[in-house]
A and B are shown apart, each in its own frame.
Chain A
Amino acid sequence: MSAIPLESSVEAAAERASASGATGRPGASHAAPLAPRARLLPALAAVYRAQLSRARVARIPLLFVATFQSVGIMILMRGVVDGGSEARSVVAGSSVLVVAFVALNLLAQYFGRLRADGGLDHYATLPVRPASVVLGTAAAYASFTVPGTFVTAVFGCLLFGLPMAHLWILAAVIPLAGAALSGLGAALGLLAPRQELATLFGQLGMSAALLLGVLPASRMPGPIAYARDLLPSTYGVEAFARGFDAHPDWALIGLDLGVCAAVGVVSLAVAAWAYRRAAVR
């Protein structure tokens, strides 16, 4: 669309100019000027803010569910695991599970529903880039997970007697694992041919994050350990778990988070493509 030189200078009241015969483009002298497009970041911010406001109405009960679920799993695992590296992966896995529940499962359901009942038309008939809608929504869902993830992590540290010195790693784990999982959730929701399938894929993704993330990797059979390596949330779990070491290996943590970031970039790009495909049929 950069072939339209006037796009940035044209006021929203396009018809006034067109009524007076103003020219919009060389070569099509009678075409009316186009109203400006919404720019990427302001539109992203507007979508983010609108989605965040939904939390008050719709998301808070689900956030409690997500947090209690993770806390419950840790209490259950307390009977099986007693400290050491296994306790670290249980706490890290349960904390990242909150992110998987909201960013993957709920976001897949949200986009699946939006696509199924025509809600995407609203965004598709506004001059906004797919990336603004997908990123704004994904960022909002990732933000919903912040309180639950912190509560789960702190509770887990107290329960298993783990050090809290490096809990600040969550400030990197939540956005990066959030990007990877919400990108995956958005792509699943937008690509699923039916709404029920979007819900199913979201649930399955979350179940995978639960089983492969919370259960200690050392006890898994070979093929399942490979499946664990394929799941993006695993890298968030590993990065967080490494933070409990007395002297964390920052290079490995950086590598794990780098994997999350890379998956996030790819999956969000796929989601933006899927959005465009779903919006214009």
Chain B
Amino acid sequence: MSTGTAAARAGTVCAVRGLVKTYPATRGRRGAPGTPEVRATDGISLEVHRGEIFGLLGPNGAGKSTLVRQLTGLMRPDAGSVDVLGHDLVRHPERAARLIAYLGQESTALDELTVSLAVETTGRLRGLPLREARAERDAVLAELGLDEIAGRPLKKLSGGQRRLACFATALVGERPVLVLDEPTTGMDPVARRAVWAAVDRRRAERGATVLLVTHNVIEAETVLDRVAVIERGRVIACDTPAGLKARVADEVRVELVWRDRAPVEVPEVAALRAEAQEAGRRWTLRLSPERARAAVATVTGGPAFAALDDFTLATPSLEDVYLALGGRTEGLVKA
């Protein structure tokens, strides 16, 4: 426990060192090919500080959820250590539930319960006496604006409402660390605001630390204090969103949308095509500011303009950082 003691002293809530998890290769069955061995987490090291909203950003299959499962004691790593508030969770995975509130992606266990009973039951299973569980249930439902649907079963709710109800279960029976796996999936803006307000309140009033899994770059930029970019089981960068974006500050993103097809007969447009990522009629280019200006001048004048439907110039986002660091493009969401 020496790392734990040192980590706790330095205000580190969660310290992960050299975490490795390999899924063994599977043999092919009739009609289905086998899969090779996969390193879902490949030597991940991280430190999350007290009171921080720390993000894990990456596309599906990058290893975010595997990492989170190892942090929450749901999966044993093959190698490496996980230290949360001075407790070695590789050696004592059962302690995770007494330190961490976890919001997973699945709600099957709760689907047939009413929102109210799901929250109350979770509170009781988190060790609250009945009276406290009910008091916390009422407070959390009111805080998240779930009062009106408290009597309805989860599976009768829309995806966003159900997600918000599951988020409510993560808040009842307070824990110093919240691990939220894509908490706002399917939510409307009102529900999202309720989630982030509730997270902020717990951080400001109680010093809660939040570990957030997301593949939404906009959300990552607006709510995270620091973010680890995960790609194929490795942390390829870890910094504040601003710090990460500063790494590609010398680039501008140019997006061009053509009406029918790109006017590739114009030589300047044909030259741009070599650097563009094409998605249907949309081209995305990452250029130096001078070249971006030239490109815009080209497409907003002369014959190319007639073919142009829309264009945008933007400063880099975390997605650009992700791509600049060598990430695969598909899988990150910009909404």
Contact = CB atoms under 8 A, between A and B. Distances in A.
B95 interface: yes
A257 to B, nearest CB: 32
A32 B74 contact: no
Question: Which of B101, B106, B109, B153 lies at the interface centre, i.e. has the most chain A CB atoms within 10 A of its CB?
Answer: B109
Interface stretch (B53-61, B112-120, B138-146, B186-194): B112-120
Interface string B1-17: 10011001100000000
Interface of A: 1, 12-16, 18-19, 24, 27-32, 34-39, 42-43, 46-47, 49-50, 53-54, 57-58, 113-114, 117-128, 132, 279-281
* B contact residues, range: 35 or more
A57 B111 CA distance: 10
Given A28-B86, A30-B4, A119-B108, 7 more contacts: A1-B95, A32-B87, A35-B175, A46-B124, A122-B106, A127-B126, A280-B93
Contacts of A1: 94-95
Given A12-B127, A13-B206, A123-B109, A35 B93 contact: no
Contact of A46 (B121, B169, B206, B207): B121
Enumerate the 3 nearest inter-chain pairs by beta-carbon distance, A residue then B residue, closest first: A31-B86, A15-B176, A119-B108
A122 B73 contact: no
Nearest to A121: B104
Given A12-B128, A35-B127, A279 B74 contact: yes
A35 B97 CA distance: 9
B63 to A, nearest CB: 16
Contact of B127 (A30, A36, A119, A124): A36
A280 B75 contact: yes
A280 B73 contact: yes
A14 B175 contact: yes
A79 to B, nearest CB: 40
Nearest to A126: B125
28 contacts: A12-B174, A14-B176, A15-B175, A15-B206, A16-B206, A19-B207, A24-B86, A31-B8, A31-B87, A36-B127, A46-B120, A50-B117, A50-B121, A53-B113, A54-B113, A113-B108, A114-B109, A117-B108, A118-B104, A118-B108, A121-B102, A121-B106, A122-B106, A124-B74, A124-B97, A280-B75, A281-B74, A281-B75
Contacts of A117: 106, 108
A214 B99 CA distance: 51
A14 B108 CA distance: 29
A28 B5 CA distance: 7
B72 A125 contact: yes
